[in-house]
Amino acid sequence: MNVVNIVPMLPPPPPQAEAPHVPVLLDETLAALAPREGALIVDATLGAGGHSEAMLEAGARVIGLDRDDVALAIAAARLERFGDRFTPVRAAFSTLCEALDGIGVRTVDGILADVGVSSMQLDEPARGMSFRQEGPLDMRMDRSSGETALELIERLDDDELADVIYKLGEERRSRRVAKCIKQALAAGELATTLDLRRAVVRAVGPSRVGGVDPSTRTFQALRIAVNRELEELGALLAGAPSVLAHGGVLAVISFHSLEDRIVKRAFSDREVWSPLTKKPVVASDRETAKNPRARSAKLRAARLAAGQEGFDSSEVDA
| Model confidence pLDDT, tens digit, residues 80-107 | 999 999 999 999 999 999 999 999 999 9
pLDDT at 213: 86
15, 48, 34, 37 alpha-carbon torsion, rounded to 10° = 0
Domain coordinates in residue numbering, the chain: 4-114+230-308, 130-227
The 10s digit of each residue's pLDDT in 241-255 is 999 999 999 999 999
pLDDT at 99: 96
The 10s digit of each residue's pLDDT in 23-71 is 999 999 999 999 999 999 999 999 899 999 999 999 999 999 998 888 8
pLDDT at 21: 65
Is the pLDDT confidence value at 237 over 80? Answer: yes
Is the pLDDT confidence value at 163 over 80? Answer: yes
pLDDT at 119: 65
pLDDT at 208: 62
> If you average pLDDT over every residue of the chain, what do you get?
88
Q: Over range 183-191, report the average pLDDT.
A: 97
- How far, in Å, CA of 108 to CA of 312, rounded? 9
CATH topology of domain 4-114+230-308: Rossmann fold (3.40.50)
Radius of gyration of the chain (CA): 20
- Of 105-109, 141-145, 276-280, the range with the lowest mean pLDDT is 141-145
**pTM, two decimal places:** 0.86
CA 154 to chain centre: 25
pLDDT-based confidence at residue 143 (cuts at 50, 70, 90): confident
Do 48 and 21 form a contact (C-beta atoms < 8 A)? Answer: yes
The 10s digit of each residue's pLDDT in 2-20 is 555 544 333 344 444 344 5
Is the pLDDT confidence value at 124 over 90? Answer: no
255-261: Cβ within 8 A, 24+ apart: 255/115, 255/116, 255/296, 255/297, 255/298, 256/116, 256/220, 256/296, 257/170, 258/168, 258/170, 258/224, 258/230, 259/115, 259/116, 259/229, 259/230, 259/233, 260/298, 260/300
pLDDT at 306: 75
**Highest mean predicted confidence (pLDDT) among 128-137, 194-203, 209-218:** 194-203
pLDDT at 131: 84
pLDDT at 30: 97
Spatial CB neighbours of 15, under 8 Å, sequence gap ≥ 6: 73, 74, 76, 77, 78
- How far, in Å, CA of 264 to CA of 269, rounded? 9
Q: What CATH architecture does domain 130-227 belong to? A: Orthogonal Bundle (1.10)
